[in-house]
């Protein structure tokens, strides 16, 4: 007879119970059956494992040796089984999804979808104003994927190991307070905002230069630009102290109006990037599909954008 894990469990049960009778009860076996199994185990191992008398069962030196090994092997096998189950329930054996993102409309929906489809796969996120920082972290193996935005057709931060795919392309709209004199218009020329103060979030791309160029083409130079976090910028817009620019997928809150700019002089492209040689690259098609679905949901939540897309179908989700 070959020694099996169930035999080690029997030896452990007898030792912990202190008697064959108590161990049989705990294991759900008849006492004579357990006694017979124990004798077969002892024959396989070459000697008695317990000294048995009316006071119970005590391990012999051989029994102590077997118990020492069993107390290592049995937990190790249980851990192996649990780890195998976790591995089998992850996507392509990938230990987790580590996703970095600049501020945009996609990350929340992407995480929601990954949790729903692969609930056993851990997910962590990191946000940054800097697309360059996130790209560097993916290149160094500290993140698996980066969700970033670039102005127009500007390429993403240079990194030879990176692979990029486009998730979608948005026009940039103006963001006004609901009491702004132009808030009732259907769309605006950029020049209509020539006398406004502006609120802007920081970033390390070329958007600020592209905005200045678009204003120059519209015949004006932007007045004061308040660089701030998103919450501060939105507050300034709501109270009428500034206007702002936003992606057309921006989710409006009370007190704000999103206004298309005629001719869409500014565009924002959503990109998903990963290290070409990483383990996570196997999941890239899945993650890209979920990112595009999340982006499509963001479009559907923006009634103004949906209406605008009817006449401007070149924008929106990329097949």
Question: 171 and 54, same structural domain?
Answer: no
- The mean predicted confidence, pLDDT, of the chain is 88
Distance CA 52, CA 20 (A): 9
Question: 74 and 45, same structural domain?
Answer: yes
> Of 33, 61, 88, which one is at a domain's C-terminal end?
88
Bigger pLDDT: 247 vs 80: 247
Counts for the chain of helices (H) and strands (E), in that order: 10, 12
Give me the phi and psi of 58, to 5 degrees please: -125, 135
Q: Helix, strand, or coil here: 61?
A: helix
Mean pLDDT for 73-95 is 69
pLDDT value of residue 239: 94
Between vectors from CA 105 to CA 318 and to CA 170, what angle results, nearest 5°?
45
| Domain at 248, CATH number | 3.40.190.290
Residues for the chain: how many in total?
319
pLDDT in tens, 268-300: 999 999 998 888 888 999 999 999 999 999 999
Question: 100 and 76, same structural domain?
Answer: no
Bigger pLDDT: 303 vs 79: 303
Question: 128 and 83, same structural domain?
Answer: no
Question: 110 and 31, same structural domain?
Answer: no
Find the domain containing 144 and state its range.
93-317
Question: 226 and 296, same structural domain?
Answer: yes
Q: How many domains does the chain have?
A: 2
Question: 76 and 126, same structural domain?
Answer: no
Burial of 305 (0-12, 13-18, 19+ CB in 10 A): buried
Mean pLDDT for 72-80 is 86
Q: Helix, strand, or coil here: 170?
A: strand
Question: 254 and 210, same structural domain?
Answer: yes
> Of 58, 88, 118, which one is at a domain's C-terminal end?
88
Q: In the predicted model, is pLDDT for residue 150 greater than 80?
A: yes
pLDDT in tens, 102-121: 988 899 999 999 999 888 88
Q: In the predicted model, is pLDDT for residue 89 greater than 50?
A: no
């Amino acid at each position: 007879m070959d020694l099996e894990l169930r035999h080690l469990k029997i030896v452990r049960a007898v030792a912990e119970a202190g008697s064959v009778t108590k161990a049989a009860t705990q294991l759900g076996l008849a006492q004579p059956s357990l006694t017979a199994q124990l004798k077969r185990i002892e024959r396989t191992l070459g000697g008695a494992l317990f000294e048995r008398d009316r006071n119970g069962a005590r391990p012999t030196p051989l029994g102590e040796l077997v118990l020492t090994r069993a107390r290592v092997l049995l937990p190790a096998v249980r851990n192996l089984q649990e780890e195998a189950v976790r591995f089998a329930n992850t996507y392509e054996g990938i230990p987790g999804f580590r996703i970095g993102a600049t501020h945009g409309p996609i990350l929340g929906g992407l995480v929601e979808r990954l949790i729903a489809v692969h609930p056993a796969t851990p997910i962590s996120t990191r946000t940054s104003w800097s697309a360059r920082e996130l790209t560097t972290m993916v290149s160094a193996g500290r993140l698996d994927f980066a969700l970033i935005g670039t102005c127009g057709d500007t390429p993403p931060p240079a990194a030879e190991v990176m692979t990029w795919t486009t998730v979608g392309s948005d026009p940039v709209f103006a963001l006004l307070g609901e009491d702004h004199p132009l808030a009732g218009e259907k769309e605006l020329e950029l020049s209509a905002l020539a006398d406004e103060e502006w609120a802007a979030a920081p970033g390390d791309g070329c958007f600020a230069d592209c905005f200045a160029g678009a204003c120059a083409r519209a015949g004006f130079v932007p007045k004061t630009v308040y660089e701030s976090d998103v919450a501060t910028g939105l507050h300034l817009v709501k109270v009428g102290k500034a206007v702002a620019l936003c992606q057309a997928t921006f989710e409006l809150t009370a007190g704000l109006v999103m206004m298309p700019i005629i001719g869409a002089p500014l565009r924002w492209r959503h990109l998903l990037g990963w290290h070409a040689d990483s383990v996570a690259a196997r999941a890239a098609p899945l993650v890209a599909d979920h990112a595009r679905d999340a982006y499509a949901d963001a479009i559907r939540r923006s009634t103004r954008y949906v209406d605008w897309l009817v006449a401007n179908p070149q924008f929106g989700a990329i097949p």
